[in-house]
């Protein structure tokens, strides 16, 4: 038998939920239920929650919220707490910002997988940079390869810097890989592994040519003992 309950919220809490509803398109009740179910999944992992039986842990949020978070970041504004930047490690947040910087530096008006790959080298202490280094793959090599493949061609003209659909797929894959591994946040390692796992993007082809297969990347990341901040 379905059961019902009544929640009493302060005006401040309800105002925040109402704002979240306006920004995500989800009803307030749905946001409250989703938050409760996610709390159960995170804090009582041994408890079976039927509503979450078909949902992988830390599933990808709506793409619109990811894209908005990236736009907020490139504009230099602090992302709203309702956007999913808090679901990335701080280093993977910086990777996303660095990818936008890479696109701007070469005059591109879109963020492609190639920019994510270059940004994977931005922080030498990130999982992505350390995994690439352990495989003998260096930033200069990747830049040279990309120079021949992409950067010697005129960039398409689009209004504003926007992530491509393939970047969308990579970010969604990163969330799925994170959930499968049972990790609490999406790291630069998850993004790097997603770039290779996606297989069709420019970054995937460059990684394959350099011998960085998904299995090798996964092994390199698993060899890192410290969690990413």
Q: Tell me the domains of the chain and their CATH numbers.
A: 11-52 (no CATH), 63-222 (1.10.1780.10)
Task: Compute φ and ψ for 115, nearest 5 degrees.
Answer: -75, -35
Return the higher-pLDDT residue of 49 and 181.
181
- Looking at residue 64, its pLDDT comes to 57
pTM over 0.95: no
CB 186 within 8 A of CB 88: yes
DSSP 159: S
pLDDT in tens, 40-59: 655 554 444 454 444 444 55
């Amino acid at each position: 038998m379905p059961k019902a309950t009544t929640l009493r919220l302060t005006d401040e809490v309800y105002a925040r939920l109402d704002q979240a509803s306006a920004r995500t398109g989800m009803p307030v009740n749905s946001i409250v239920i989703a938050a409760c179910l996610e709390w159960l999944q995170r804090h009582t992992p041994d408890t079976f929650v039927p509503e979450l039986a078909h949902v992988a842990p830390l599933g990808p949020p709506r793409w619109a919220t990811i894209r908005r978070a990236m736009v907020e970041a490139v504009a230099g504004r602090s992302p709203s707490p309702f956007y999913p930047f808090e679901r990335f490690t701080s280093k993977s947040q910086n990777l996303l910002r660095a990818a936008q910087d890479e696109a701007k530096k070469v005059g591109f008006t879109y963020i492609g997988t190639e920019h994510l790959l270059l940004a994977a080298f931005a922080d030498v202490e990130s999982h992505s940079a350390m995994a690439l280094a352990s495989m003998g793959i260096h930033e200069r090599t990747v830049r040279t390869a990309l120079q021949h493949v992409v950067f010697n061609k005129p960039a398409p003209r689009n209004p504003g810097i926007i992530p491509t659909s393939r970047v969308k797929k990579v970010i969604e894959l990163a969330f799925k890989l994170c959930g499968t591994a049972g990790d609490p946040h999406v790291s630069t390692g998850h993004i790097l592994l997603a770039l290779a796992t996606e297989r069709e993007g420019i970054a995937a082809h460059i990684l394959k040519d350099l011998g960085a297969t998904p299995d090798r990347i996964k092994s390199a990341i698993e060899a890192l003992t410290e969690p990413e901040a």
